[in-house]
Amino acid sequence: MGTLPSSSFVNLNFRFRLLSSGGISGGRSSISLRRASGNLCFLCKQRPEVWRTRRRFSTSRCYSIGGGDGDDEKSSSSSSANVSTDEAERSERSQTSVSSSRPSRMPSDGPVYSSFQVDSIKLMELLGPEKVDPSDVKLIKDKLFGYSTFWVTKEEPFGDLGEGVLFLGNLRGKREEVFAKLQHQLHEVTGDKYNLFMVEEPNSEGPDPRGGPRVSFGLLRKEVSEPGPTTLWQYVISLLLFVFTVGSCVELGIASQITSLPPEVVKYFTDPNAVEPPDMQLLLPFVESALPLAYGVLGVQLFHEVGHYLAAFPKKVKLGLPFFIPNITLGSFGAITQFKSILPDRKTMVDISLAGPLAGAVLSFSMFCVGLALSSNPAGLGDLVQVPCTLFQGSLLLGLVSRGVLGYTAMHAANVSIHPLVIAGWCGLTTTAFNMLPVGCLDGGRAIQGAYGKNALFGFGLTTYAMLGLGVLGGPLSLPWGLYVLICQRAPEKPCLNDVSEVGTWRRTALTIAVFLVIMILLPLWDELAEELGIGLVTSL
């Protein structure tokens, strides 16, 4: 993109007064002009008494021949020495070259801006989003709004940078019916140029007499409100992150065989004083046995994303590429999936947000239960791996389920023999629970925003951040997950086209149950409770 020099925005103030020959006022030379065609200003080619312009960011006026008082006109008629047109033009160029460095003495009715301020404002307008055309605003007010739909009483800026228009007024019917009618008429009047949003009226004094909040209608250009297309770099980054996630899942599968790994490899990864890395070729024989666990963890993440796409397809909502986040502890922290189209309503936001975690949770819990069943079968001892008993103290819900299936004897030991599917299901459920936390642009945050609104999401978000910071949820994973959310997904989702209509009772009930299960999964067992339940060794005092 080319840059514009600052000289393009310099605010020049001109003042030409007609004085008698050789007259000097305030140390400035003044010129008298006379043309054969009459007293015309050589800048604007109009009669001075007609020419008078005031711009938004400029206070320049033309005080040319006849633009002053009566004494000047009398002095002009009695002047005997006139300046030629060429001399006038040279004087004009000289006046222009020094006007920016010399303070203007002309009167001003509006605020005076410096050249730097003008440059900044002009540059912001140039680089900022394109605003709504004022002529279209007038057309929309005349053609769309009225006594039978929505009576407009006030207009305010709308959008992140005020690039749109928010129409405030009084609703004259059922909000869903009025909104559908306005959308249809907007398409007939302006085509696909704008998007119309129905939002809650900001700072409203009371609810709507018909029930529910008072509504307003926001107007934004499509190129401003709709997400941009997927770029080539996004495809490349998505592919690289997927490759790294596959590697982290394989690494998790190798780490699950820690009791069988060579001692030098275990020492390097567990001893903080170890400096010299071991021969990594020693890990090659363990890669093949690590693949089933890697497939399970990766399969949960892919199934999670498939759930989002299956829920978005019938709603005609486009989703972007998933950006997987690798993690060596869980295999993956999940994926960032962006909406590539504006959501029609809040019901759609809740459905799409819950579909992914629901699909991932069903597959993960199935793998977890099957793995526990295989772990309790003596015939499958050859396929089991040894894990520390402290693993089951990381989740209240999963620890209780494992204790109920495996029994007191198996769980009351330093190491527990389990099938790799247990680890895959455990990691999948933990990742799904993290993504369902009600904060930011996570699946849980989107669902809370759709079900209860942005204000509720703000309160839930503060509580979640506090619990992650204190390590209440997720144990040792709370800090890295909290940093990930702050960096990548802390901002809430953009509003829907219909950001007012309620989502229904059953969606809110399902969301409440999901949040409760999330807390049960991420809440770790403290030592006293783990000892009482028989999950892990009993500590001797």
- DSSP code string of 316-373: T--B---EEEEETTTEEEEEE--BSS--SBHHHHHHHHHHHHHHHHHHHHHHHHHHHH
147 in Cβ contact with 128 (< 8 Å): no
CA distance 445 to 460: 8
Q: Are strands 28-29 and 24-25 parallel, antiparallel or unpaired?
A: antiparallel
Determine contact, residues 475/392, Cβ cutoff 8 Å. Answer: no
Could you tell me the pLDDT band of residue 293, with boundaries at 50, 70 and 90? confident
464: tokens are 């979640």
The mean pLDDT of 182-197, rounded to a whole number, is: 90
Residue 284 contacts by C-beta under 8 Å, 6 or more apart in sequence? none
Q: So what's the pLDDT on residue 5? A: 38
User: In whole angstroms, what is the distance from residue 141 CA to residue 145 CA?
Assistant: 5
pLDDT for the residue 363: 94
pLDDT category at 242 given cuts 50, 70, 90 is very high
**SS3 for 216?**
strand
Residue 506 vs residue 29, higher pLDDT: 506
d(CA 527, CA 538): 9
Bridge partners of 158, per DSSP, are 164
Answer whether 421's CB lies under 8 Å from 369's CB.
Answer: no
Tokens of 212: 């529910």
Residue 419, token pair as written in the block: 């099938």
- Which single residue is written with the structure tokens 């239960």? 369
Both structure tokens of 146: 């009225």
H-helix or E-strand spanning residue 109: none
Can you tell me the mean pLDDT for 503-512? 92
DSSP letter at 412 equals S
Contacts of 132 (CB under 8 A, 6+ apart): 163, 164, 165, 194, 219, 220, 221
pLDDT confidence of residue 394: 85
Report pLDDT for 319.
Answer: 92
Give the mean model confidence (pLDDT) for residues 264-279.
68
Amino acid identity, position 220: L
Least confident stretch, 164-173, 410-419, 456-465: 410-419
Q: What is the DSSP string of 164-177?
A: EEEEEEEE-S-HHH
Confidence of residue 243 (pLDDT cuts 50, 70, 90): very high
Tell me the pLDDT band of 117, cut-offs 50, 70 and 90: low
In the prediction, which pLDDT does 304 show? 94
Contacts of 17 (CB under 8 A, 6+ apart): 25, 30, 63, 68, 72
By three-state DSSP, how is residue 52 classified?
Answer: coil
Q: Is the pLDDT of residue 326 over 60?
A: yes
DSSP letter assigned to residue 537 = P
CA distance 317 to 337: 12
Enter the tokens of residue 507: 């969606």
Token readout for 353 is 């947000």
Q: What is the mean pLDDT of residues 463-480?
A: 83
Residue in the block written with tokens 């021949």: 65
DSSP helix/strand/coil, 461: helix
pLDDT at 257: 75
User: By percentage, how much of the chain surpasses pLDDT 70?
Assistant: 72
Residue 221 host element (H or E): strand 215-221
The position carrying tokens 């972007």 is: 320
Two tokens at 194? 């704008």
pLDDT of residue 451: 92
Three-state secondary structure call for residue 194 = strand
Burial of 325 per CB tally in 10 Å (0-12, 13-18, 19+) = buried
> Inter-axis angle of helices 454-469 and 478-488, to 10 degrees?
140
- Helix residue spans in 202-345 (DSSP H): 222-225, 232-255, 263-270, 284-312
Name 25's bridge partners: 28
pTM metric for this prediction: 0.71
**pLDDT-derived band at 10, boundaries 50, 70, 90:** very low
Q: What is the C-alpha to C-alpha distance for residues 452 and 186, in angstroms, rounded to an integer?
A: 29
Higher pLDDT, 147 or 205: 147
Q: Which of 188, 522, 284, 259 is nearest to 415 (CA)?
A: 259
Contact 374, 337 (CB under 8 A): no
Structure-block tokens of residue 454:
């942005």
The three-state secondary structure class of 200 is strand
Residue 16 has pLDDT above 80, yes or no: no
522 touches 470 (CB < 8 A): no
Question: For residue 70, what pLDDT is reported?
Answer: 44
pLDDT of 222 over the 60 cut? yes
Note whether 325 and 332 are within 8 A (CB): yes
Strand segments, DSSP code E, in 368-473 are: 385-388, 415-418
- How would residue 118 be classed by pLDDT, with cut points 50, 70 and 90? low
Whether residue 399 has pLDDT greater than 90: no
Whether the per-residue pLDDT at 6 is higher than 70: the answer is no
Q: If you average pLDDT over each of 1-5, 86-90, 340-344, which comes out highest?
A: 340-344
- Could you tell me if 308 and 337 are in contact, meaning their C-beta atoms sit under 8 angstroms apart? yes
Q: Which of 73-82, 155-164, 185-194 has the highest mean pLDDT?
A: 185-194
Once rounded to an integer, what is the mean pLDDT over residues 282-286?
76
One-letter amino acid of 131: K
Q: Which residues contact 49 (CB under 8 A, 6 or more apart)?
A: 66, 67
Answer with the residue of higher pLDDT: 207 or 461. Answer: 461
pLDDT of 154 strictly over 80: yes
The 10s digit of each residue's pLDDT in 32-72 is 333 344 444 444 444 444 444 333 334 444 444 444 444 44
